[in-house]
Chain A
């Protein structure tokens, strides 16, 4: 497997508060990585560091030359302006914008690609609707569609199951499984059970990355990460932890 992202002794904080400390993490081609941990543990911060939204205090993030600028991002549904007057089609089309083309008009290929992706995520019929008219699951799919139009090699999702119902969670899981055949998936989540049997690795993060060797995700490790008693409802899901990735 080709290594796509290499994170070495990465540290970051806000103000004087250190949020991430000495994180080492390798992400490989076709990995399906869940990043779990308590609120404020640094999960979303790690995602933002990988995406280049914020700069690390120390350490490095190195990308395989084949994937530079090929990172797709699906933000939390609370992070963008939901009241912005924009149709589903135009929102997905903004995924084609990058630093090299933001002064130019959209190309015919951008429009065709957007139509194709909207078909793929079953939202073509909704293309002329306002985002406000979409259900939680449809909104999530439209955000995934926006990231897919830029043809990413790694898709990073932040809490994708936060505001969707159970059937939408199942559909999302199935869709991400399909995507995982073509790209690496990284999901920050509080809900690992929603991705049961789909993911290949879990990274437990609470300031540090907590490895616990190959095997099951057990209560001892989670209690160390979360710093409180943990009951494992989805216990027994087989996975490996990234420190032992080979």
Chain B
């Protein structure tokens, strides 16, 4: 066991799982509370457009994905109040992002094996250079959440009331969209574009079963994220399962087990009360 820790790619994978879990725990609870799962799914898929263009230009695909996701997040934030068809807007962005990615990959000569990593994630192939980028993103997201925590909680619980208290609701909402975008970029290599939304929501769903305190839900989500990512990493290493899918399935199994245990306890408490 200790032997594998000496490999650099394993060290990188452990760090990548840790960093991805921090943003998943900090941002996921806001996504769930503000019912922004669909928006987040749309944002993660627009990243593929940026990846494709960056790949075609021969630069680090993460740079292209970051630019595309942030541009889309700002676009959704600015346009969503001007249309009643938000779902349509997000759906179009979702599909257009993927389409742009596919076209530019087609235009790039040769086979693009790395892109499978971005689509489905592979925690074992995250290079040290990307760990540096992820660390910077995590630092930025963490500091932003700490600074704007009160405002973000306020708009997530009761946006209308926040307006009556003259909070900059629109600024906070667009800021949250941008932070979601950065969280997605941080997690792309760990679980992939397609599965990123699961890592943003499953640990939160489990944490919400365990606590009613928003801060505690964040901390529990981070710890669960780390456990799930590292478990997925070792499953992937030892039995050669795809890491992104392993991480998500481990999280889903945990959630199901917890639900079954809670329901069983409630059932036995109920029946003992009746008898």
Does the CB pair A52–B165 fall under 8 Å?
no
Bound Cα distance from A166 to B216, whole angstroms: 37
- CB contacts (< 8 Å) of B160 on chain A: these are 48, 53, 75, 79-80
Does the CB pair A99–B165 fall under 8 Å?
yes
Does the CB pair B165–A150 fall under 8 Å?
yes
Bound Cα distance from A58 to B156, whole angstroms: 31
**B161 interfacial by beta-carbon distance below 8 Å:** yes
- CB contacts (< 8 Å) of B154 on chain A: these are 94, 97, 102
Contact with B along A12-47 (1 / 0, CB 8 A): 000000000000000000000000000000000000
- CB contacts (< 8 Å) of A129 on chain B: these are 212
Does the CB pair A103–B150 fall under 8 Å?
yes
- CB contacts (< 8 Å) of A73 on chain B: these are 161, 164
How near does chain A come to B212, taking the closest CB pair, in angstroms?
4
Bound Cα distance from A103 to B212, whole angstroms: 23
**B170 interfacial by beta-carbon distance below 8 Å:** no
Instruction: Return the chain A residue nearest B84 by Cβ.
Output: A15
Contact of A52 among B33, B158, B161, B164 (CB under 8 A): B164
Q: Which segment of A82-90, A183-191, A202-210, A230-238 sits at the interface?
A: A82-90
Bound Cα distance from A48 to B208, whole angstroms: 32
Contact of B151 among A48, A102, A146 (CB under 8 A): A102
Interface residues on B, range: 20 to 34
Instruction: Return the chain A residue nearest B162 by Cβ.
Output: A97
Instruction: Return the chain B residue nearest A129 by Cβ.
Output: B212
How near does chain B come to A150, taking the closest CB pair, in angstroms?
7
Query: Using a CB-CB cutoff of 8 Å, which residues 63-103 of chain A contact chain B?
Result: 69, 71, 73, 75, 79-81, 83-87, 90-91, 94, 97-99, 102-103
Does the CB pair A86–B166 fall under 8 Å?
no
- CB contacts (< 8 Å) of B211 on chain A: these are 85
- CB contacts (< 8 Å) of A91 on chain B: these are 157
**B163 interfacial by beta-carbon distance below 8 Å:** yes
Does the CB pair B212–A94 fall under 8 Å?
no
- How many A-B pairs with Cβ below 8 Å? 84
Does the CB pair B156–A103 fall under 8 Å?
no
- CB contacts (< 8 Å) of B54 on chain A: these are none
How near does chain B come to A3, taking the closest CB pair, in angstroms?
21
Does the CB pair B151–A52 fall under 8 Å?
no
Contact with B along A160-188 (1 / 0, CB 8 A): 00000000000000000000000000000
**B271 interfacial by beta-carbon distance below 8 Å:** no
How near does chain B come to A63, taking the closest CB pair, in angstroms?
13
Does the CB pair B166–A52 fall under 8 Å?
yes
Does the CB pair B157–A86 fall under 8 Å?
yes
- CB contacts (< 8 Å) of A80 on chain B: these are 157-158, 160-161
How near does chain B come to A147, taking the closest CB pair, in angstroms?
8
How near does chain A come to B96, taking the closest CB pair, in angstroms?
28
- CB contacts (< 8 Å) of B151 on chain A: these are 97, 102-103
- CB contacts (< 8 Å) of B34 on chain A: these are 81
- A interface residues, Cβ below 8 angstroms from B: 48, 51-53, 69, 71, 73, 75, 79-81, 83-87, 90-91, 94, 97-99, 102-104, 106, 129-130, 146, 150
- B interface residues, Cβ below 8 angstroms from A: 29, 33-34, 147-148, 150-151, 153-154, 156-158, 160-168, 208, 211-214, 217
Q: List 14 extra interface pairs beyond A51-B163, A85-B208, CB under 8 A.
A: A52-B163, A53-B160, A73-B164, A75-B158, A81-B33, A81-B34, A81-B157, A84-B156, A87-B213, A90-B214, A91-B157, A94-B153, A94-B154, A102-B151
Closest 4 pairs between A and B when the two form their complex, measured CB to CB: A80-B158, A130-B212, A99-B166, A102-B151
